[in-house]
Structure 1
C-alpha cells in the first residue's frame, strides 16, 4: 500500500490558505461549499526516534509526507507533554509540570480549566465530529465515566499500561477487556479508529480522531503475535552509551558504569519495545487504508508523534526520560495529507505546543491569543525559508515522583532536579534551580558529552540566561513567538 493519493482537494487548498494567513500572509479566496480537511492523530507513549527503524509503515508515512527533525516536547514526561499538546501552551501556562497533584496530573489540568480550551473543543465548535481513544492524562479514571468536553465519542482508558485486563469508558459505559488476543489494547483502539473513520466519512462531515496508545510505555507488552520478532536485538550503542558527560550536573554525576545486569535488562526491554510498536505500525497502515476505502484520504491529514522520548543506557542512565538530552526531548513528528510535500524533512525548531493551533487552523477555528504555539502548516506551504522561531523551551519539575507513578525511575540516579532548558538547532542550554548549568554545542558534540558552560564568556552566559528567561515567562502567542527568536 498504501500511499495517500497525491491529488489535492479544493477544500484542502482553501484550508491551507487560511493556515498561511494565520502567520501573517494574505489569505487566498476560499470556496464556501468545500468540506474542511479531516485529521487522524496517532500519539504514542515513550517512543524514541531509535524505534522508527523498526516501523515500516511510519517510514512509509515519512515517504508520503513531511518529517520535522527538530520537533521537541515541552517536558519529557507524559502528563505535561500531553497537556501542551491538547492546549498549545507551555507547562507554565497549563500549570501541569508532573504526573500527579498538586503539581500536575489530570485533576490539575481539569481544575485549571484547560479542558474547555483544547483543539477538540475548538474543532467541535466548527462542526467536526471528534473521537478520542486510549490513554488520556495521568490520574484519569475511566470508572468515573467522565467524558471531557469537546469529544463526540470517547473511549478513554486509565491504568492500561499492561495492554490486557483494563477498562474503557466507552461513551459513558464502563467496558472491561480481559486477557485474550482480541483484548490487546492497541488492536482494540485500532479497530475502533477504523470504525469511527468509516462512520464519520459516511456522514459527510469533517472529523478529528486522536488514537493515543500506551505502547511502547513500560512494562513494554507486545501483542502475542509479535513475541518472537527481532531475535537477538539489542539497544543501540551510541557514543553516549554508558558515558557521563564532562562536568555533569550533580543529579547525574554519581552514576557509575552500567552493570552487566543493567545492560542485559536494557537489551531485553529494547527488544520488547520494538515488538510492542509492531501493533502501532500495523494500526497506522490500517487507518490509512480505511481512509482510502472511505474515499477521504485526499482530504485527511495523518499525524504521527510521541509524547516524549526514552533513554536506554545513554549518559549512564538506564531506562527512563525527563532529561533535557535529545534522546528524551526530540521525538518523531510526521505529517502527511493535503498539500504536504512527500519525502521532505523540515529542520525548523517546532514543539508540541504547535499541534493544537495547527489542528485548529486546519478546521478553520480561530487560535486564541493565549495559545503559546503556532500553526505548523505555514512551514509546509512556505517551505524552508518560511519565518520561524529559533529556540524551544523545555520545563521540568523534579525529582519527587511517588512510587506509584508509572514514570518513576527507581534504578540509580535517573530523575533530574527542576530545570528549564533552551534548545536551538545548534546548542542546548540548561539551568537547574540549584544554580548548576549545562551547555552543549551540538554542532561539534551531537551526543551531548561535553558540558562547556564554564568556558563561555560572561556576555554569552548573560545572553543565554536572558533568552531562556524570556521564554519561560511568555504567556501569549505574540510574546512566545518573539521570545522564541534567540541567538
Structure 2
C-alpha cells in the first residue's frame, strides 16, 4: 500500500503551515542558546493536495548523528515529520553510497565500491551507463521539473565534456549546478547548465549559501508554473576540511568531541582493531578542534533548510511538498581508538539521520523500521505515481510514513565495504592502514550488527545491551546461529532486485 494506491485524501489528515517555518537559528552552546528555540509555524488541518508532491532532498556529506543537536531547523523538521532511527547507508563511503541512492541498488549491483579508479567513482558510473536510469530520469519522465545542486559523485569535475562539446550534464536534470573538489567551500567552480562559473573567497561565495540561494530560486520559479518538481541540494559540508561560513567561525568555543563509552576504546574481542594504540594527546586535541569546526559548518546547512522551507511557504506549495534530510554516511571521531574517518560498520559510520516531513506524513514521530538509502528511489517513484523501477533493490517507505506500520517489513539490511580508500588522491584517504577496516559484508537489524570480514573473522554486537558496540560477542553464538547469520549475509550480498533482496532481508532476525 502506498500514497499512490491509497490516494492522498485518505492519507492526509494533518499538514504543515510553513509560513515563517525557519526555526531559531541559535545553536546550542552559543551565547544566546539559553532561550528556547521558537517558531511561527504550527501543525494545522489542511486539505489534501490535488497533485503529486514536490520533493526537496537535502543530502549532506559525512554528517554524524551527534551533529543534529546543533541544528535547530533540522530538529524543527523532526517535530513536523517522521524520523527514521534505523536508517542506514549501504556503504560508509561517499561515492558507493551516493550511487546506491541514485540507483536504488546495493554496491554489488551498481559496481561502485570505491570513490574512484577501476571499481568506483563517477567515470565508472558514467561508462557503465548508470546515469541513464536514476531517480532523476524517473521523475523527469513523469513530468517533474528537476534540479541538482552541489556535490555529485567523486571524480566528477565541472569542466568534463564526456565526448560532448559542452561541459557535461547527466541525463534526468533540467537544472544543473555541480562542483568538483569544492570541499573548502571557497575558490571553486560550478558547472551551471553547461557553463563554467568561478567563485572566489568572499563571504558571499561560501558554497552552501550559494546552493541555498539557487535552490530557493528554482523552487520559486518552478512553483509559479504549477509543474511538480524535484530538487536535490547536496552540500560538501561537513566533510573535511570542515569549513564553516565566516559568520559561524567563532561559535561553540571550548566544544569538544563527545566522550561516549566508545571513546578511545577498542571493542572487547575485536578483530581488526586488536592491539591498536590509544589516541595520543595531540590526536585528541585535533579531534576536539575538528568536531568544533563540524558543528560550526552545519550551521549554514541548517539555515538553508529553514530558508528552503520558508521559500516553499512563500511560493504557496509547502502543503504539497515533501522535505527530506539525510547524509551519504556518518563519521567517527575518537570512537574505537580511531581518529576522524568512516568506512567501518559501526553505527557512527552507517546509521545516519533520515527526516521526512510533508503531506500525509505523521508529525513528531520516530519510526524504528530498518530502512536504507536503496529505498529512496522507489519512494520517490511512489510519490510520483510510478511503479517501482524494476532494477531497484529497495522498497518504497511510504507505508511507514502515515503512522500505520505495515504488517510485514524487512528484518535487516546489508552494509558492504570493499577495496577501502587507501589512495592518497582519494578525498577520504586514510594514511594509516591501522585505521582502515578490511573489506566486509554486514547485516544490520534493529537490534544487532553482524560483520563478516574478508579474512573470515566475524563480529557480532548486540545493540540492545551494547548500544555503543564495544563488545564483540560472536564467540558466544551457537554454530547454528552463526550458520543462519552467514546464510543471511550471503543472501543479501548476492541479491539482485527488490523481490530477491526483500526475501533475503527477512531470513533472519
TM over 0.5: yes
Aligned to 1:21: none
Q: In the TM superposition, what is the alpha-carbon distance from 1:4 to its structure 2 partner?
A: 7.0
Aligned to 1:156: 178
What runs of 5+ residues in structure 2 fail to find an aligned partner? Answer: 1-19, 22-40, 161-166
Q: Please report the TM-score for the alignment, with normalisation by the length of structure 2.
A: 0.90
Aligned to 2:119: 103
- Does residue 62 (structure 1) correspond to residue 78 (structure 2)? The answer is yes
- Does residue 191 (structure 1) correspond to residue 206 (structure 2)? The answer is no
Aligned to 2:55: 39
Aligned to 1:416: 437
Aligned to 1:119: 135
Greater mean deviation of Cα atoms: 471-480 or 364-373: 364-373
Write the distance in 1 (CA, Å) between the matches of 2:44 and 2:225.
24
Aligned to 2:289: 268
Write the distance in 1 (CA, Å) between the matches of 2:312 and 2:219.
7
Write the distance in 2 (CA, Å) between the matches of 1:287 and 1:5.
18
Residues 349-395 of structure 1: CA deviation (Å, up to 9, x unaligned)? 00000111111111112212221011111111362354210101001
* Match of residue 180, structure 1, among 192, 195, 202: 202
The verdict on how the C-alpha distance between 1:147 and 1:6 changes in structure 2, with shifts beyond 3 A counting, is: farther
Aligned to 2:3: none
Aligned to 2:492: 471
Q: In the TM superposition, what is the alpha-carbon distance from 1:399 to its structure 2 partner?
A: 2.9
Aligned to 2:352: 331
Q: In the TM superposition, what is the alpha-carbon distance from 1:411 to its structure 2 partner?
A: 4.2
Aligned to 1:23: none
Aligned to 1:141: 157
**2:421–2:428 Cα contact (<8 Å) kept:** no
Write the distance in 2 (CA, Å) between the matches of 1:425 and 1:388.
12
Q: In the TM superposition, what is the alpha-carbon distance from 1:58 to its structure 2 partner?
A: 0.3
* Match of residue 284, structure 1, among 284, 296, 305: 305
Aligned to 1:246: 268
Q: In the TM superposition, what is the alpha-carbon distance from 1:5 to its structure 2 partner?
A: 5.8
Write the distance in 2 (CA, Å) between the matches of 1:409 and 1:480.
32
SS of residue paired to 1:131: strand
Greater mean deviation of Cα atoms: 377-386 or 124-133: 377-386
Write the distance in 1 (CA, Å) between the matches of 2:403 and 2:296.
38
- Does residue 349 (structure 1) correspond to residue 370 (structure 2)? The answer is yes
What runs of 5+ residues in structure 1 fail to find an aligned partner? Answer: 12-33
Q: In the TM superposition, what is the alpha-carbon distance from 1:401 to its structure 2 partner?
A: 2.3
Write the distance in 2 (CA, Å) between the matches of 1:480 and 1:372.
6
- Does residue 85 (structure 1) correspond to residue 123 (structure 2)? The answer is no
SS of residue paired to 2:402: helix
Aligned to 2:381: 360
SS of residue paired to 1:413: helix
**2:115–2:421 Cα contact (<8 Å) kept:** no
- Does residue 234 (structure 1) correspond to residue 256 (structure 2)? The answer is yes
**1:136–1:157 Cα contact (<8 Å) kept:** yes
Q: In the TM superposition, what is the alpha-carbon distance from 1:448 to its structure 2 partner?
A: 0.8
Write the distance in 1 (CA, Å) between the matches of 2:286 and 2:225.
49
SS of residue paired to 2:404: helix
Q: In the TM superposition, what is the alpha-carbon distance from 1:6 to its structure 2 partner?
A: 4.0
* Match of residue 131, structure 1, among 147, 150, 163: 147
Q: In the TM superposition, what is the alpha-carbon distance from 1:456 to its structure 2 partner?
A: 1.0
Aligned to 2:465: 444
Q: Please report the TM-score for the alignment, with normalisation by the length of structure 1.
A: 0.94
Write the distance in 1 (CA, Å) between the matches of 2:376 and 2:421.
29
Write the distance in 2 (CA, Å) between the matches of 1:254 and 1:397.
23
**2:191–2:197 Cα contact (<8 Å) kept:** yes
List 4+ stretches of structure 1 deviating above 6 A: none
SS of residue paired to 1:146: coil
Write the distance in 1 (CA, Å) between the matches of 2:496 and 2:382.
20
Aligned to 1:225: 247
Write the distance in 2 (CA, Å) between the matches of 1:411 and 1:9.
57
Residues 334-356 of structure 1: CA deviation (Å, up to 9, x unaligned)? 00000111100000000000111
**2:149–2:178 Cα contact (<8 Å) kept:** yes
**1:353–1:372 Cα contact (<8 Å) kept:** yes
**1:6–1:298 Cα contact (<8 Å) kept:** no
- Once superposed, what is the RMSD of the aligned Cα atoms? 1.2
Write the distance in 1 (CA, Å) between the matches of 2:222 and 2:412.
39
Give the number of aligned pairs.
464
Aligned to 1:406: 427
SS of residue paired to 1:211: strand
- Does residue 395 (structure 1) correspond to residue 411 (structure 2)? The answer is no
Aligned to 1:10: 48
The verdict on how the C-alpha distance between 1:147 and 1:228 changes in structure 2, with shifts beyond 3 A counting, is: same
**1:8–1:338 Cα contact (<8 Å) kept:** no
The verdict on how the C-alpha distance between 1:300 and 1:240 changes in structure 2, with shifts beyond 3 A counting, is: same
Q: In the TM superposition, what is the alpha-carbon distance from 1:8 to its structure 2 partner?
A: 4.5
Which structure has the highest helix share of the two?
1
Write the distance in 1 (CA, Å) between the matches of 2:410 and 2:290.
37
The verdict on how the C-alpha distance between 1:120 and 1:427 changes in structure 2, with shifts beyond 3 A counting, is: same
